[in-house]
Structures are given as structure tokens and as C-alpha cells.
């Protein structure tokens, strides 16, 4: 199938152009996203079954190219190549319409990945909050134990002070447990499961060591959180670029549709 139905080109341009041109200029970003979704559904409904099969193959080819390039690729040009590999040399207007559908599929997968990583970020923030509160409790318990010890051994306080042992900072380990998004398989650090011990029967030395271990785990959490934040920022940047590219395509379609509508009226 080298060409689309003759009615497809005009139908897509009029339906996309008329609705989109009215909303794009003043619409906030979230409205633009809704408009992209509506127009993608409208275009998809116009496609014949064989064209939909080719679109599915083009979408997979496009996704593989973008991911294999570590997202350092021109999103629009890569989508155009994927469409032409399946449909041959179509007209510019048909290419624009099909490129939008192909890019939309990747955008949906990106949205799913973004949601998964946001959920992981929320889990990690909850664990960090719990860890901070737990460390505060340990420090209060330590202070209480130290105060009690001073009361019981007042004689010790009259002796020359003994230099405290300086703790060497331990390197923060990166998580060996990684998760990946369901569809795009984007890897990200998984929130570790922290096991808490009972401190009821710990002496001061044990409590001090345990508190130090918990603080180190907190440092690790902070490092993982920063790593996850960077991953999230990269996803959001890519999402923004894809939305902008889709928006530009729809603007182009809407501008082209003006001439078609004018010709129909004549």
C-alpha cells in the first residue's frame, strides 16, 4: 500500500486544522496535550487496517531508534524515516499526519515511564521521611542514655577528658537493585528496603554504632534520591521536546488546511 485513501489527506487536514487552530494559540500546555490526544484518535480512526499495521511497525522502528541512540536524535526526522520505510514516498501532508501518530505512540510510553518513576520517587521520599524521624528518635535515645550514664558515673566526669574517636566517612554505595519501566525498559534506582532493629536492650556503644549505620543508610537514600531526580528530569525534558514537536506538526497541518478549506469554498 503505497498511498493512503484520497479522502484521508483532506479529511485529516480539515478535521485537525479546524479544531486545533482554534485552541492552540491560547491553550495552556495541558490543553495542548489533550488536543494532541484528540487529533491522534481522529487520525487513527481514518486509517485503513493495513495502514494501521504499518503504523504499528513504524512506531516500533521509531521507538527502537530513539532508545538505541540514548535519546540523542531528532525526534521528527527519525519519525519521518520510520514512516517512509513503511509507506514509501507519500506527500508531505500525509507524512505529517502519520508522523504525528508514530510520535504519539512513543509519547504515551514516555508518559507511562514518567508515571512509574514518579511513583518510585514518592516511595523513596516516604522512606527518607521515615528514616529521618527514626534517626531523630535514636539520637534522643542516645542523649538519654548518655545523661543517665553521667548521673551514674559522676566520678568519670572528673577525670581528664579522653579524645573521642573520629569516625571516618564511609562512601555512599549506589544501589545494586535497579528497576525498569514496563514498556520502554528505562532503568532507575529502586527504593531499598530498610530493616529496623529493636534498640530496647542496646547499650550505649551498640546504640552509637547502630545510629551511625542508620545515618549511612540515610546518606545512601539521599544519593539514590538524587540519582532518581536526575532520571526524572531527563524524562521530563524529553517529554517536553516530544510535545513541542507534536505541537509544531499540528500547527503546520492547521496552516496547510486553510488553503484546502479555501479551495473547497470556491
Confidence of residue 214 (pLDDT cuts 50, 70, 90): very high
pLDDT for 132: 96
Name the region of 177 (left: φ>0; alpha: ψ -120 to 50; beta: rest). beta
% the chain with pLDDT above 70: 75
pLDDT, residue 176, reads 59
**pLDDT band per the 50, 70, 90 thresholds, residue 136:** very high
**The three cell numbers locating residue 173:** 554505595
pLDDT at 1: 42
Angle at 182 between CA 176 and CA 185, to 5 degrees: 60
Interior/surface letters 190-216, b for 16+ CB within 10 angstroms, e for the rest: bbbeeeeeebeebeeeebbebbeebbb
Question: Which candidate, 155, 225, 234, places its Cα nearest to that of 192?
Answer: 225
Can you tell me the distance from the alpha carbon of 265 to that of 262, in angstroms, rounded to the nearest whole number?
Answer: 5
Task: Please state the pTM of the whole predicted model.
Answer: 0.71
Cα end-to-end distance, the chain, whole Å: 32
From CA 262, how far away is CA 54, in angstroms rounded? Answer: 32
Residue 195: its pLDDT value, please? 93
Q: What is the pLDDT of residue 93?
A: 78
- Closest Cα to residue 104, out of 29, 37, 182? 37
Asked if residue 174 has pLDDT above 60, the reply is no
Mean pLDDT of 160-178: 56
Query: What are 174's three cell numbers?
Result: 549506589
Alpha-carbon dihedral angle through residues 115, 119, 125, 129, given to the nearest 10 degrees: 150
Mean pLDDT confidence for 196-214: 93
pLDDT at 163: 47
Domain boundaries, the chain: 6-107+243-265, 115-156+171-233
Alpha-carbon gap, residue 215 to 80, rounded angstroms: 52
Q: What is the pLDDT of residues 121-134, one digit of tens each?
A: 999 999 999 999 99
C-alpha cell at 157: 566526669
Residue 88: pLDDT band (50, 70, 90) is confident
- Find out whether 258 and 22 touch, Cβ atoms under 8 Å: no
DSSP H or E segment with residue 104: helix 92-152
Neighbouring-strand partners of residue 187:
180
Return the C-alpha cell found at 225: 534520591
SS3 158: coil
Q: What is the pLDDT of residues 8-57, one digit of tens each?
A: 443 443 344 433 433 444 445 677 788 888 888 888 888 888 888 999 99
Amino acid at each position: 500500500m503505497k498511498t493512503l485513501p484520497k479522502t484521508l489527506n483532506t479529511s485529516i487536514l480539515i478535521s485537525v486544522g479546524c479544531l486545533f487552530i482554534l485552541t492552540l494559540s491560547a491553550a495552556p500546555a495541558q490543553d495542548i496535550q489533550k488536543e494532541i490526544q484528540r487529533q491522534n484518535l481522529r487520525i487513527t480512526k481514518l486509517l485503513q487496517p493495513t495502514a494501521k499495521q504499518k503504523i504499528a511497525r513504524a512506531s516500533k522502528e521509531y521507538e527502537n531508534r530513539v532508545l538505541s541512540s540514548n535519546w540523542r536524535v531528532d525526534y521528527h526526522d527519525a519519525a519521518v524515516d520510520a514512516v517512509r520505510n513503511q509507506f514509501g514516498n507519500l506527500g508531505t501532508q500525509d507524512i505529517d499526519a502519520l508522523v504525528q501518530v508514530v510520535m504519539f505512540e512513543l509519547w504515551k510510553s514516555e508518559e507511562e515511564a514518567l508515571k512509574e518513576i514518579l511513583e518510585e520517587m514518592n516511595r523513596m521520599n516516604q522512606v527518607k521521611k521515615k528514616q529521618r524521624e527514626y534517626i531523630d528518635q535514636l539520637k534522643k535515645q542516645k542523649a538519654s542514655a548518655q545523661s543517665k550514664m553521667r548521673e551514674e558515673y559522676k566520678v568519670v566526669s572528673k577525670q581528664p577528658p579522653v579524645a573521642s574517636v573520629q569516625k571516618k566517612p564511609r562512601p555512599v554505595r549506589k544501589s545494586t537493585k535497579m528497576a525498569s519501566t514496563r514498556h520502554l525498559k528505562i532503568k532507575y534506582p529502586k527504593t531499598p528496603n530498610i530493616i529496623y532493629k529493636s534498640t530496647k536492650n542496646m547499650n550505649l556503644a551498640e546504640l552509637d554504632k547502630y545510629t551511625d549505620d542508620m545515618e549511612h543508610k540515610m546518606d545512601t537514600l539521599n544519593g539514590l534520591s538524587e540519582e532518581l531526580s536526575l532520571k526524572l528530569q531527563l524524562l521530563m525534558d524529553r517529554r517536553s521536546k516530544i510535545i513541542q514537536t507534536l505541537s509544531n506538526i499540528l500547527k503546520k497541518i492547521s496552516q496547510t488546511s486553510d488553503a484546502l478549506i479555501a479551495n473547497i469554498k470556491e
